[in-house]
């Protein structure tokens, strides 16, 4: 069953040198699955995530055939209607909790706000829900964390708080934009596991944006490979080694593998034709 | 034509062939950015105009700036032979404004030389030496920053006596601390960079490092700051002149001219209005140019 | 990694010393700055081309009287000892006698300071009430017509001589239109009617319930206060705008938008809380600048405040009065700085 379908998405920014196209005609669909979007920096993967939430600010331009969330085209909604979609139906976790949490508000205030915005309930209710959610992301001392400020938290805790906050209103889709890239390697796994558990339990769709091909292959069901604003390849995560596109192959070959040690890793050689070729559709055939 | 073309290409190259080439190329690119900023160019045009007026004052002024004509006093705008009217002693206001531009430029140039250089010296020494030298110098800087500038300048002029040179000195004394702060901050970042260590390993002494490697890098942020401060300097000088503590009569200093015209403000408004407009135009020009320069030299503060 | 919030733990068990230290440090640096300020004024007083003895005795004093007074004033002592005397005098609130009217300078200052305070306070209120929203809107609607207006307002404020704009204001609103009162704090007819309690006429007349005096005082203060308000508005709106722009590109703003907050809620709830601290510093600075900017304004509007007190004393070479006034204004500067520093500690959780 399809939750979200994106068709022919473009994101453009006017600059002094002319219009810069960050995303160029991307199409894909998302069911109750974990969809990975992989690409190097500047490939347009983050812009794709933000465009879905219509968070691209002026002077940036978003164009799309449609972005349909369970039958509603998000492109047609007014800004006010769109605000009901954000948080409540589609939510997003960003890279670094150091910057994505407001430094001068307590964590409790920020969490309760996320809940109160969409649910018409009392503060006590919001508080109880926040505490419950903090427990759900394995925070052992939620009462104290509620009173604390973001700078008093470690990166791993910050990101778990971020996940808790974003899942409080029970969204159907979570976009995770490099959620572990700013974290210590030692806590990356833990944060991913928590996110995975919550997403699966709630039957949500997850868009996992990362530059880390291995991580995505391991963690997701399906992978889109983006290059220069376009999707160059779509494949199932467990069949990534069968990838045909030279860019994907190049990426795979540039990574060391334990089971297949090599003297030299191959440096990626780029071909201008990759950027020119039209985008591959990521819409799932059986959707 | 083709010469101009190759010159442009040479300046816009991505692969400069020498240090001088690189320097000229970056200057040229900065100029191109500045040129695309209409307001900054407008400010620059006003300042060039001001410079020319000051330079050719004897040719441009219709009258002697001191020549009194009591029978012709307080003539209104557009009076015969006096485009901007005359003041209470019958002196031609336009001629006085034209000569006054020399005084304004003189004050600005002196302060713009003294204050940043003093600040640069204090700041780099403080930042480079560190330790108690830094503590003492920065404390002194803080003390001067704690003073209200105009009041401190007033007190200095009171001690030194009224006059243009003392006004310049007083303004410079109140203007140097921010430059010292900037220069110190720059020095601190530059000092710890790897290439300074490399130079030191090659045996360069502190004097050489400061003069050859730290000063040139402080210059651009100081220039921006000076240009933005020029307007403030002009206003401070005019303020002192207005209070009778700067240029003394009969000098055609613009602030002093306003002070003189103040007595007639209700009946003969133009006497005080015209020099005020002149001050406004010039400091506006400096502000516009300063904003533009900041975008070119210091892009992190400017509008991205 | 451990789950326990390490830093909160440390904070709750931290010794008393951890918050006392920055306060001691602040007070120490304030003391040093004040000492420096007094030293500078002291030196200025000593290099004056006016003979302090003759200033007291008059030109025709005999040599014996001159020598006696010279000794009595401590002028034969080393400079540092003299500075020490000066210091103890100032700490007792004794700035010496005014040569002009033979009254203690401290009394004069106590009389003129409220007038300046009244003027500057109304000015800063105008500046904050109009300047902060203008800066916020200019940043949010960057490039719009309102941003352009804010830019012009600031540019004009940065470029126009305040004394000239004051003159023009008098010419137009008093001379031509007759909407406001002229120079001075009151028309002569209303002077000395209400008893001076605070020295601020608006407050005094309100306490006395004399609204005709209040109205008259208001008509006199509105123009100079608006003038000062305009200059602080120019500065405050510009700074607010740049603080806002800096914060608007921060990631937590995106977080708030992702939550589904409306744009204005994002700005006032999330962003404004983050610029509050910087704004306090700017407002304190600009309030201090108003106390100083009032020097020229007070001259134009014949306002009997500390600015015109310093200037008139200066023109009659009344050095004790000039230095006393300078010290007081300098002290106000320092106090405002400390005040904004303390508020910073209160409002920014990261500074603890």
Q: From the CA of A159, how many Å to the nearest CA of chain C? A: 12
C-alpha B222: how far from chain center: 11
User: What's the total number of domains in chain A?
Assistant: 1
Share of chain B above pLDDT 90, in %: 20
- pLDDT for C10: 40
Q: How confident is the model at residue B216 (pLDDT cuts 50, 70, 90)?
A: confident
DSSP labels, A117-183: TTS---HHHHHHHHHHHHHHTT-S-HHHHHHS-GGGS-HHHHHHHHHHHHHTT--SEEEEESTTTTS
Lowest-pLDDT choice from A14-28, C23-37, C55-69, C274-288 = C55-69
Please tell me the distance in Å from C31's CA to the nearest CA on chain B.
Answer: 11
Contacts of C347 in chain A (CB under 8 A): 104
pLDDT-based confidence at residue B299 (cuts at 50, 70, 90): low
Residue C100 contacts B where some CB pair is shorter than 8 Å: no
The rounded radius of gyration (Å) of the Cα atoms in chain C is: 25
Which among B155, B232, B276 is the nearest to C326, CB-wise? Answer: B155
- CA B111 to mean position of chain CA atoms: 7
In contact, B240 and B255? CB cutoff 8 Å: yes
Higher per-residue pLDDT: B290 or C350: B290
Mean pLDDT of chain B: 84
Cα separation, C256 vs C270, in Å, equals 8
For residue A157, the chain C residues in CB contact (below 8 A) are 3, 5
Specify which of A234-243, A267-276, B167-176 reaches the highest per-range mean pLDDT.
B167-176
**pLDDT tier for residue C30 given thresholds of 50, 70 and 90:** confident
pLDDT at residue A13 greater than cutoff 70: yes
Which among C32, C37, C160 has CB closest to B280? C160
Instruction: Tell me the sheet residues that pair with A231.
Output: A226
pLDDT given for residue C285 in this prediction: 85
- 3-state DSSP call for residue C246? helix
- Please, what is the average pLDDT of chain C? 83
> pLDDT tens-digit profile of B236-254?
889 888 988 888 888 889 9
Q: Kindly state the tokens that stand for A207.
A: 């868009």
| Weakest mean pLDDT among A267-276, C45-54, C145-154 | C45-54
Measure Cα distances from C39 to A187, B145, C35, C95 in Å.
58, 14, 6, 14
How many whole angstroms separate alpha carbon C106 and alpha carbon B278? 40
> For A286, which DSSP code?
T
Is C340 within 8 Å of chain B by CB?
Answer: no
Q: Where are the domains of chain C?
A: 29-91, 108-351
Q: How confident is the model at residue C72 (pLDDT cuts 50, 70, 90)?
A: confident
Mean per-residue pLDDT, B218-222: 82
Instruction: Provide ipTM, 2 decimals.
Output: 0.88
User: What pTM was computed for the model?
Assistant: 0.83
Ranking A39-48, A168-177, C18-27, C168-177 by mean pLDDT, the lowest is C18-27
Tens digits of residue pLDDT in A67-122: 999 888 999 999 899 998 998 899 999 988 889 999 989 999 999 998 888 888 88
Sorting pLDDT into bands at 50, 70 and 90, what band is B128? Answer: confident
Q: Among candidates A233, A260, A228, which has minimal Cα distance to A246?
A: A233
| Mean pLDDT confidence for A163-171 | 90
Would you say A35 and A27 are in contact if contact means Cβ atoms under 8 Å apart? no
Mean of pLDDT values over A207-232:
88
Contact criterion met (CB below 8 Å) for A96 and A85: no
DSSP symbols for C299-334: HHTT--SHHHHHHHHHHTT-HHHHHHHHHHHHHHHH
> Do the Cβ atoms of C49 and B239 come within 8 Å?
no
Residue A65 is assigned to a structural domain of this protein? yes
Listed range (A260-269, A273-282, B206-215, C270-279) with the worst mean pLDDT: A260-269
Structure-model confidence comparison of residues B85 and B289, the more confident one? B289
Contact A175, A49 (CB under 8 A): yes
* pLDDT score, position B298: 62
> Is residue B68 scored above 80 in pLDDT?
no
Record: contact C5-A144, CB cut-off 8 A: yes
Instruction: Give residue C228's Cα distance to chain centre.
Output: 11
Q: How far apart are CA C224 and CA C158, in angstroms?
A: 17
Contact (CB<8Å) B155/C322: yes
Angular region, C48: left φ>0, alpha ψ -120 to 50, beta rest: beta
Q: State how far residue A17 is from chain C, nearest Cα, in angstroms.
A: 19
SS3 call for C144: coil
Cα C280 from Cα C270, distance rounded (Å)? 17
**Biggest alpha carbon distance in chain C?**
87
Chain C nearest C-alpha distance from A260 (Å): 32
Distance from CA of C205 to the nearest CA of B (A): 30
Q: Is the pLDDT of residue B141 over 70?
A: yes
C161 contacts B238? CB cut-off 8 A: yes
By Cβ distance, the residue of C5, C254, C273 closest to A153 is C5
SS3 of residue A22 by DSSP: strand
Of A50, A117, A154, the CB nearest to C1: A154
pLDDT tens across C109-166, in order? 999 999 999 999 999 999 999 999 999 999 998 888 999 999 999 999 989 999 999 9
Q: Kindly list the partner chains of chain C, i.e. chains with 3 or more CB atom pairs below 8 Å.
A: A, B
Using CA atoms, how far residue C324 sits from B165, C54, C320, in Å, is: 25, 20, 6
Domains of chain B in start order, with CATH, are: 36-66+81-297 (1.10.3720.10)
- The residues that bridge with A90 in the sheet, in sequence order, are A86, A173
More confidently predicted of A147 and B5: A147
Confidence of residue C52 (pLDDT cuts 50, 70, 90): low
The answer to whether A114 and A76 are in contact (CB under 8 A) is no
Domain of A259 in residue numbering reads as 2-86+221-282
Tell me whether residues C155 and B287 touch, CB distance under 8 A.
Answer: yes
Q: Using the beta-carbon criterion (under 8 Å), do C333 and B147 form an inter-chain contact? A: yes
- By Cβ distance, the residue of C7, C255, C348 closest to A101 is C255
Chain C interface test: which of B37, B141, B155 (most C C-beta within 10 Å): B155
pLDDT of B301 reads 43
Read off the pLDDT of each residue in B34-56 and give the average, rounded to a whole number.
Answer: 89
Closest CA to C161 of B104, B92, B290: B104
Interchain CB distance below 8 Å, C270 and A53:
no
Look up the CATH number of the domain holding residue A247.
Answer: 3.40.50.300
Using the structure block, give the residue that is written with the tokens 């799309």: A64
Residues A12-30, mean pLDDT to the nearest whole number:
87
Return the pLDDT at C352.
Answer: 60
pLDDT score of B179 more than 50:
yes
Q: Domain C108-351 has what CATH class?
A: mainly alpha
Q: Quick check: is A11 in a domain?
A: yes
């Amino acid at each position: 069953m399809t939750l979200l379908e994106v068709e022919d998405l473009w994101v453009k920014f006017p600059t002094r040198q002319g219009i810069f196209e960050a995303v160029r005609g991307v199409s894909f669909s998302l069911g109750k699955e974990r969809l990975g979007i992989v690409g190097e920096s500047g490939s347009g993967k983050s812009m794709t995530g933000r465009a879905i939430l219509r968070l691209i600010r002026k002077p940036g331009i978003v164009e799309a055939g449609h972005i349909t969330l369970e039958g509603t085209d998000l492109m047609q909604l007014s800004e006010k209607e769109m605000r009901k979609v954000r948080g409540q139906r589609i939510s997003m976790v960003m890279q670094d909790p150091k910057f994505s949490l407001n430094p001068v508000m307590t964590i409790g205030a920020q969490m309760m706000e996320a809940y109160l915005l969409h649910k018409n309930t009392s503060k006590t209710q919001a508080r109880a829900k926040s505490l419950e959610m903090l427990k759900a992301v394995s925070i052992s001392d939620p009462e104290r964390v509620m009173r604390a400020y973001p700078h008093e938290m470690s990166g791993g805790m910050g990101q778990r708080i971020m996940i808790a906050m974003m899942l409080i209103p029970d969204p159907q889709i979570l976009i995770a934009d490099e959620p572990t890239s700013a974290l210590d390697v030692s806590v990356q796994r833990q944060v991913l596991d928590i996110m995975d558990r919550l997403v699966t339990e709630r039957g949500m769709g997850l868009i996992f944006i990362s530059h880390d091909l291995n991580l995505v292959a391991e963690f997701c069901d399906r992978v889109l490979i983006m290059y220069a604003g376009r999707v160059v390849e779509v494949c199932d995560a467990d069949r990534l080694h069968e990838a045909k596109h030279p860019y994907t192959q190049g990426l795979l070959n540039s990574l060391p593998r334990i089971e297949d040690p090599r003297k030299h890793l191959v440096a990626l050689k780029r071909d201008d034709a990759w950027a020119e070729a039209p985008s591959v559709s990521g819409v799932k055939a059986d959707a | 034509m083709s010469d101009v073309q190759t010159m442009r290409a040479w300046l816009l190259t991505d692969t400069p062939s020498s240090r001088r080439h690189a320097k000229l190329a970056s200057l040229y690119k900065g100029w191109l950015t500045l040129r695309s900023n209409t307001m900054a160019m407008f400010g620059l045009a006003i300042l060039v105009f001001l410079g020319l007026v000051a330079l050719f004052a004897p040719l441009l002024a219709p009258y002697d700036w001191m020549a009194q004509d009591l029978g012709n006093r307080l003539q209104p705008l557009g009076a015969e032979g006096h485009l901007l009217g005359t003041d209470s002693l019958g002196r031609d206001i336009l001629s006085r404004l034209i000569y006054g531009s020399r005084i304004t430029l003189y004050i600005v140039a002196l302060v713009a030389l003294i204050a940043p250089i003093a600040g640069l010296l204090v700041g780099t020494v403080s930042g480079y030496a560190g330790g108690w030298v830094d503590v003492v110098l920065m404390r002194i800087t803080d003390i001067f920053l704690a003073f209200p500038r105009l009041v401190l300048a007033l007190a200095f002029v009171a001690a030194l006596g009224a006059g243009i040179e003392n006004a310049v000195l007083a303004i410079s004394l109140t203007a140097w601390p921010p430059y010292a702060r900037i220069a110190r901050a720059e020095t601190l970042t530059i000092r710890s960079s790897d290439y300074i260590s490399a130079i030191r390993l090659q045996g360069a002494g502190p004097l050489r490092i400061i003069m050859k490697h730290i000063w040139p890098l402080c210059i651009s942020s100081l220039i921006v700051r000076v240009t933005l401060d020029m307007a403030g300097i002009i206003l401070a000088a005019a303020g002192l002149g207005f209070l009778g503590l700067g240029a003394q009569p009969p000098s055609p200093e613009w602030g002093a001219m306003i002070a003189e015209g103040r007595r007639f403000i209700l009946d003969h408004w133009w006497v005080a209005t015209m020099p005020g407009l002149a001050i406004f135009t010039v400091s506006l020009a400096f502000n516009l140019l300063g904003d533009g320069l900041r975008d070119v030299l210091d892009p992190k503060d400017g509008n991205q | 990694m451990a789950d326990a919030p390490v830093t909160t733990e440390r904070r709750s068990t931290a010794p008393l010393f951890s918050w006392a230290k920055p306060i001691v440090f602040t007070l120490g640096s304030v003391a040093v700055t004040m000492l420096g300020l007094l030293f500078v004024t002291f030196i200025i007083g000593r290099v004056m081309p006016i003979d302090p003895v003759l200033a007291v005795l008059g030109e025709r004093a005999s040599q014996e009287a001159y020598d006696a007074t010279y000794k009595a004033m401590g002028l034969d002592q080393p400079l540092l000892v003299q500075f020490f005397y000066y210091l103890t005098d100032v700490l007792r609130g004794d700035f010496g006698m005014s040569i002009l009217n033979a009254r203690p300078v401290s009394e004069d200052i106590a009389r003129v300071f409220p007038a300046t305070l009244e003027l500057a306070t109304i000015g800063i209120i105008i500046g904050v009430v109009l300047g902060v929203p203008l800066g916020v809107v200019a940043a949010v609607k960057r490039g719009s017509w309102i941003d352009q207006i804010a830019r012009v307002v600031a540019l004009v404020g940065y470029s126009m001589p305040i004394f000239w704009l004051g003159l023009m204001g008098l010419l137009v609103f008093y001379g031509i239109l007759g909407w406001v009162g002229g120079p001075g704090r009151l028309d002569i007819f209303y002077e000395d009617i209400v008893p001076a309690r605070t020295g601020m006429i608006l407050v005094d007349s309100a306490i006395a319930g004399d609204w005709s005096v209040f109205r008259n005082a208001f008509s006199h203060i509105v123009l100079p206060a608006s003038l000062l308000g305009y200059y602080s508005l120019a500065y405050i709106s510009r700074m607010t705008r740049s603080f806002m722009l800096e914060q608007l590109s921060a990631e937590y703003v995106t977080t708030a938008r992702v939550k589904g907050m409306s744009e204005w809620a994002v700005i006032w709830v999330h962003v404004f809380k983050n610029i509050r601290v910087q704004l306090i510093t700017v407002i304190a600075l600009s309030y201090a600048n108003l106390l100083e900017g009032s020097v020229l304004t007070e001259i134009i509007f014949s306002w009997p405040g500390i600015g015109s007190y310093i200037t008139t004393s200066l023109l009659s070479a009344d050095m004790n009065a000039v230095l006393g006034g300078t010290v007081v204004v300098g002290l106000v500067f320092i106090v405002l700085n400390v005040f904004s520093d303390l508020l910073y500690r209160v409002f920014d959780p990261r500074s603890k």
